[in-house]
A and B are shown apart, each in its own frame.
Chain A
Amino acid sequence: MTREQQTTTAALQALERLGAQQASAQAHTSRKTEFNLENGQFTLLRTTLDHSLALQAFVDQRRGTVSGNSFEPEAIAAAARDCFAAARDGQSDPAWELAREGGGSFDTGAFTLDRELLFNRTQEMLDAIKAEYPKVVLESVSAQHVAREGSYLNSHGVAYDSRAGSYGVFLMFSGHEGGKSSSFNHSSFECADLSRPFLDQGSLRQNLADAQKQIHTQPTKGKFEGTVVFTPDCLGSMLYELVSNYAADSVLLDGTSLWKDALGTQVADPRLTLSFKPLDPRMVSAERYTQEGFLSRDYDLIERGVLKQFMLSAYAANKTGHSRAPNTSHAIIVAPGQTALKDILSTIDKGLLVSRYSGGASGAGGEFSGVAKNSFLIENGQLGPAVSETMISGNLAGMLNSIRGISRETMEDGSSSLPWLAVDGITISGK
């Protein structure tokens, strides 16, 4: 038995002894090794050894949850007591559910760290950035390896074991020249091994090159309706905002989702297919089982424009009468289109290429307005100068029905695969 298995077994027994009619326990150990850099210089080597223990108990369908980070017997016993008390004092709800079937053992990614090679790959990336992107200042960089071991056990006999390892790199940077600077931008990716240079992965090269072009900007003049092309990095954040507004637990439970009655109907342009696929081989150490104990499977949220599935937990599914989402990962994939990005750009009279969106959380209606950061003007089919002090506004749901084009090129960063997406009818305003 692993230490994680011993911990979940002890915790489950403790909860059942206290009187929990149903219960689950999850235990994880993670070892992280991380190089940190500031201003392009190594500043810190950090190694952490962490545990996590998450318990869930049901008493007469009343639910309590606790989490802690100790595997010591007295800590497990205390967590079980707290969890049982929280459930006992809670509110009965028949919608709560634990998985009754499932189970498995998973081993993904690179569990063993190669610290020397991680340092060398990071140094190689710094040297290459200095040579190839001399106007870029690296404000902060982290390069890390995380190894995780886990165990899940519930009172219906569902058991999972997992072992996963991955490398991850995050950069925050800006372009500088003659006292002027671009807005900061960032790039990150996850990878299962160190076989490829870091600079060749994710959006690094694109965003570093763009940072140099974004040092000198022009404010956008006036207000107009135009076409916005979202880069894969920016598209990911817009789509997470969108699905949170229309397809997640909270908005379906409280009935504020504009899509609450739209299942099976056309909510987007027929060219759009949006999926969550943790089992896709391009996803690095993605989810294999859910917090509720269900085996993770890939699914389409929107298939050819039709809403096929909400992102619901088992609880919210039982509450609303819809089906549970087959996974709870963020492994988002948008199917590529047929058209090259340059051909999409060539059709746009006036608009923006937006690499980063800085906006407030959109309201329940999906209205959004925010600043187009790290962005370029598009005029007469050509990319123009970088812009500053430019806002974009529109409606998230409306956007999906105003798609001008989806690029055939995609960007993969280990946790998503996304194309460039062009949307008409966005309000663009400047000074």
Chain B
Amino acid sequence: MIPDIISSLHGSFKPGAHSELRAQRSLARRVVLLGGNLVGNTRQDSQGVSARVYSNGVYGFASAADLSQDAARKALDTASQNALFLDDKVRPGKGALPQIAHGSLPRQADFNDVEQKRYLDFTQALDSYISGKYPGLASRTVVATADSMEKQLLTSDGYAAHTLAPRSYVYVILNAVTDKGMPVEVFRSFGGRGSFDTVFTDPAALYGEVDRLYEHLMNKREGTFAKAGVATCILSGELSGILAHEAVGHTVEADLVLGGSVAGPMLGQMVASPLVSMTDFAHTAFDQTAPLPVYVDDEGVLAEDAELIRNGKLVGFMLNRELGRHYNMRPQGNARAFAFNDEPLIRMRNTAIHPGPNKLQDMIAGTEEGYYLMYTNNGQADTTGEFMFGVTLGYEIKNGKLGQAIFDTTISGVAFDMLKTVDMVSDQVTWASSGFCGKKQPMPVGVGGPELRCQVMIGGR
């Protein structure tokens, strides 16, 4: 664990200036086996200290790659000078930030940073299983990865905290070639919160998942292109989670609202079917610990859930302290920084659409023609709410039954139009947490949702 170098530095804060000090250590471990060749075998550590100081509507920030009290004091001093430089140049004259609750959270427990051999042994065992059972694959890739973010935070007027968030994943990528020579690929990630040795105890526990992935690959090898145009689609929980994050979540981040996102003027209006509710959960969702829990943010704000859509109505934004004042709303712990040398930005945490009353099998059975879209490899959206998701696995639905698999495609639409077409919502929420959200800085986030039936534009031929 990082040494406690900042909890005794409260006296270094200048009176009246909101100030933050953060010491941070981030770890990443990675092993990559491509076709049995060890092409990646690396461990990354980075650590340092940063300070941010507020002055009349602008911030100064400074950091150094050094975990020491001297470095912390120096960063605080430089951050103060930076804030004064900018305040003097632009004179925003906004005064002090509104008060927030203060206190401290107990230190979180350490985790087992396992040696590299553990990742190597796990990937080699899983790769051996795949190559032995499925020798006809065009190629295979197995990746083991783990990362953790440990932060010690001290603020002048908010919460002090020590937080530690390890997560571990295994990725399997399988490739085959169609009869016409076209490569096809399927990809799946497994894992979640925790150190690698607690999340993955035995490679054999993944064999069943690999077998299912191989079946999908064989189906996709015999697949067909989706027909371009608007179609009835059932989005898996994985896709509805990405939808919640990309197409809705970003538009209700207050910095993007301020920049003119489509959601700004729609607060209090119906933006979705009454079947749709959505929340950015802080640490507990649907009575369970959320995939990547956040208890306090990097401005020292105690984290609580941010309710965004209630029964189809847009009811809230995600905020930091500065924009909480601007919109006269309470910040709820969304200001987070990725690395020690990054400033806090408004970020999502665990964003999910709530489950509904329907069963997936009934949703498929009740669809005459359309697609069941299962896996995605990425998603993008812009401030108009227009979104795009890559779909890497899906099946046709014909007369209420699953048909042929489809090749890679893309779906797109305008979130607040598309969400109004939702007419069925399943009762099961699926979470994903292996990815990073990109917004100047990367950030681990959880996304989740139930299956949704909706009308959406699909790319194809």
Contact = CB atoms under 8 A, between A and B. Distances in A.
B153 interface: no
Interface in A32-46: 35-36, 38-39, 41-46
Nearest to B140: A254
Given A44-B86, A64-B116, A254-B175, A69 B228 contact: no
Contact of A391 (B66, B376, B412): B412
Nearest to A245: B183
Given A51-B65, A254-B141, A431 B457 contact: yes
A359 B410 contact: yes
A203 interface: no
A363 B184 contact: yes
Interface in A4-48: 35-36, 38-39, 41-48
B182 interface: yes
Main secondary structure of the interface of A (DSSP, over half): strand
Interface stretch (B128-136, B272-280, B297-305, B384-392): B384-392
Contacts of A370: 388, 410, 412, 459
B429 to A, nearest CB: 23
B265 interface: yes
Given A176-B260, A360-B377, A69 B45 contact: yes
Contacts of B377: 360-361
A143 B408 CA distance: 38
Interface string A243-260: 000000110011110100
Given A38-B259, A63-B41, A140-B259, A391 B62 contact: no
Interface stretch (A83-91, A160-168, A330-338, A344-352): A83-91
Contact of A429 (B86, B229, B384, B408): B229
A388 B391 CA distance: 21
Contact of A91 (B38, B42, B256): B38
Interface string A411-431: 000000000000000010101
A71 to B, nearest CB: 8
Contacts of B413: 389
Given A46-B82, A137-B259, A67 B61 contact: no
B111 to A, nearest CB: 17
Contacts of A49: 63-65
Contacts of A39: 255, 258-259
Contacts of A254: 34-35, 138-141, 175
Contacts of A137: 259-260
Q: Which of A47, A63, A90 has the most CB of B within 10 A?
A: A47
Interface in B28-69: 34-35, 37-39, 41-48, 50, 57-66
B155 interface: no
A355 interface: no
Contacts of A127: none
Nearest to B259: A139
Interface string A132-176: 000001111010000000000000000000000000000010101
Contact of B228 (A223, A360, A361): A223
Given A45-B83, A70-B66, A139-B260, A253 B34 contact: yes
Interface stretch (A179-187, A263-271, A297-305, A376-384): A179-187
Given A256-B138, A319-B37, A391-B457, A183 B86 contact: no
Interface in A380-417: 388-389, 391, 393
Given A181-B384, A365-B184, A371-B388, A70 B47 contact: yes
Interface in B391-420: 391-392, 407-410, 412-414
Given A70-B65, A139-B256, A360-B376, A46 B175 contact: no
A45 B58 contact: yes
B109 interface: no
Contacts of B212: none
Given A65-B41, A69-B45, A431 B183 contact: no
B378 interface: yes
B435 interface: no
Given A50-B65, A68-B45, A363-B408, A93 B37 contact: yes
A41 B159 CA distance: 28
Nearest to B86: A45
B341 A358 contact: no
A346 to B, nearest CB: 28
A186 B413 CA distance: 21
B38 A42 contact: no
Interface residues of A, number: 77
Given A254-B175, A389-B457, A41 B183 contact: no
A363 B183 contact: yes
Interface in B1-48: 34-35, 37-39, 41-48
Given A45-B82, A85-B115, A66 B407 contact: no
B461 A427 contact: yes
Contacts of A45: 58-61, 82-83, 85-86
A345 to B, nearest CB: 25
B88 to A, nearest CB: 11
A362 B377 CA distance: 10
A179 B261 CA distance: 10
B380 interface: yes
B259 A362 contact: no
A255 B139 CA distance: 7
B120 A90 contact: yes
Given A255-B138, A256-B175, A361-B378, A388 B386 contact: yes
B157 interface: no
Contact of A46 (B115, B256, B343): B343
Interface string A46-86: 11111100000000000111111110000000010011011
A299 to B, nearest CB: 23
Enumerate the 10 nearest inter-chain pairs by beta-carbon distance, A residue then B residue, closest first.
A360-B390, A369-B459, A139-B259, A254-B139, A364-B183, A91-B38, A45-B82, A363-B408, A46-B61, A65-B42
28 contacts: A42-B89, A44-B59, A45-B60, A48-B61, A64-B41, A65-B43, A66-B44, A67-B45, A69-B45, A69-B46, A70-B47, A119-B89, A137-B260, A140-B255, A183-B384, A184-B382, A249-B39, A254-B35, A364-B183, A364-B184, A365-B182, A367-B182, A369-B460, A371-B386, A391-B410, A391-B459, A393-B461, A427-B461
Interface of B: 34-35, 37-39, 41-48, 50, 57-66, 78, 82-83, 85-86, 89-90, 92, 115-117, 120, 124, 138-141, 175, 182-185, 228-230, 255-256, 258-260, 262, 265, 322, 341, 343, 376-378, 380, 382-384, 386, 388-392, 407-410, 412-414, 440, 457, 459-461
Given A45-B58, A91-B38, A179-B265, 18 more contacts: A42-B92, A45-B60, A45-B85, A68-B45, A70-B65, A85-B117, A89-B120, A174-B382, A174-B383, A183-B383, A184-B382, A255-B138, A256-B139, A256-B175, A363-B185, A369-B228, A369-B409, A389-B414
